[in-house]
């Protein structure tokens, strides 16, 4: 777009300089002040209209792609679902106490909404940046990301097409319940709950504090667009979401 505007400005400047420096008076025809016939008058009007149409056609040829983008586009917005975090409970057939419903993990999602009038082609979402701030500290620790895209909810695909007006959910955070693990010597140890942000599993020494994650959407016909998530967790686990909400906080920031 900028290159085309520069070319147009250069052409106008060249035309201006030619008009000022070229002895245009020598080309001026010798006209007599005589009334012209009606036919000649209409020919003159038609010629002016044709010149104007030609000028408009040249402008359209130069800027048609840019003009089309103004009217045809994909536009992605990130929204927080009504229930951003949901609980996944154990299958009752696998439980010894089917009457007691307990969560085995909690997952948090973001809704990706295409408000444009073109499909968002080959959309992928990456965890681009992740920082951890320990409890009672203000110093952020940078956590290295994997550079691989996340899978979209309900699919095994990392790349999808979002139609105009379409909404897609993508899982960004997961908290997995603690469990007992049997060692080779038959001893059992307690595995603490795990926090997974994007595709990064938290380390043992990063169980309490705040996490700031930046996710970015990349698509074939859309500029990259990011949003941030802040997570606060004290490392405790509760078996139902209502109780877990007192210890686990997640919020979209931008």
Q: Are residues 115 and 19 in the same domain?
A: no
- The answer to whether residue 146 scores a pLDDT higher than 70 is yes
Q: Are residues 84 and 114 in the same domain?
A: yes
Q: Are residues 179 and 231 in the same domain?
A: yes
Q: Are residues 107 and 220 in the same domain?
A: yes
Q: Are residues 189 and 215 in the same domain?
A: yes
- What's the pTM value of the predicted model, to 2 decimals? 0.71
d(CA 124, CA 107): 19
Q: Are residues 96 and 172 in the same domain?
A: yes
d(CA 211, CA 251): 11
Number of domains in the chain: 2
* Cα dihedral across residues 37, 41, 46, 47: positive or negative: positive
User: Which of 71, 106, 131 marks a domain boundary?
Assistant: 71
Q: Are residues 81 and 153 in the same domain?
A: yes
Confidence of residue 24 (pLDDT cuts 50, 70, 90): low
pLDDT in tens, 93-126: 555 545 688 999 999 999 999 999 999 999 999 9
Confidence of residue 25 (pLDDT cuts 50, 70, 90): low
Distance of CA 191 to CAs 180, 181, 182, Å?
A: 6, 7, 10
- The answer to whether residue 59 scores a pLDDT higher than 80 is no
For residue 14, the enclosing domain spans 2-71
Query: Residue 165 in contact with residue 115, Cβ under 8 Å?
Result: yes
Q: Are residues 213 and 89 in the same domain?
A: yes
User: Backbone phi, then psi, for 109, in 5-degree steps?
Assistant: -125, 160
User: Which of 37, 55, 71 marks a domain boundary?
Assistant: 71
Confidence of residue 50 (pLDDT cuts 50, 70, 90): confident
Q: Are residues 54 and 21 in the same domain?
A: yes
Predicted local confidence at residue 129, as pLDDT: 96
- Please tell me which residue, 208 or 59, carries the higher pLDDT value: 208
**Angle between helical axes of 2-21 and 38-71 (0-180°, round to 10):** 150
Confidence of residue 33 (pLDDT cuts 50, 70, 90): low
Q: Are residues 115 and 228 in the same domain?
A: yes
* Cα dihedral across residues 240, 246, 248, 254: positive or negative: positive
Predicted local confidence at residue 185, as pLDDT: 63
User: Backbone phi, then psi, for 25, in 5-degree steps?
Assistant: -65, -30
Q: Are residues 116 and 219 in the same domain?
A: yes
Predicted local confidence at residue 37, as pLDDT: 73
Q: Are residues 65 and 84 in the same domain?
A: no
């Amino acid at each position: 777009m900028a290159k085309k505007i520069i070319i147009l400005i250069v052409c106008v400047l060249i035309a201006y300089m030619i008009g000022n420096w070229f002895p245009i008076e020598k080309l001026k025809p010798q006209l007599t002040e005589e009334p012209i016939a009606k036919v000649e008058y209409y020919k003159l009007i038609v010629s002016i209209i044709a010149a104007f149409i030609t000028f408009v056609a040249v402008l359209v040829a130069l800027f048609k792609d840019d003009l089309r983008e103004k009217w045809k586009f994909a536009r992605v917005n990130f929204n927080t679902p009504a229930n951003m975090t949901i609980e996944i409970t154990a299958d009752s057939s696998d439980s010894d106490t089917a009457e007691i419903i307990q969560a085995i993990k909690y997952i948090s999602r973001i809704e990706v909404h295409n408000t444009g009038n073109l499909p968002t082609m080959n959309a992928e979402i990456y965890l681009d940046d992740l920082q951890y701030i320990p409890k009672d500290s203000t110093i952020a620790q940078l956590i290295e990301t994997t550079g691989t895209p996340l899978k979209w909810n309900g699919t095994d695909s990392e790349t999808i097409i979002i139609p105009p007006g379409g909404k897609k959910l993508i899982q960004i955070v997961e908290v997995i319940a603690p469990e007992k693990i049997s060692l080779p010597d038959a001893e059992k140890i307690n595995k603490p709950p795990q926090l997974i942000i994007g595709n990064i599993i938290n380390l043992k020494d990063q169980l309490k504090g705040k996490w700031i994650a930046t996710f970015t959407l990349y698509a074939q016909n859309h500029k990259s667009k990011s949003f941030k998530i802040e997570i606060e967790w004290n490392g405790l686990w509760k078996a139902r979401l209502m109780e877990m909400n007192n210890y686990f906080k997640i919020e979209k920031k931008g």
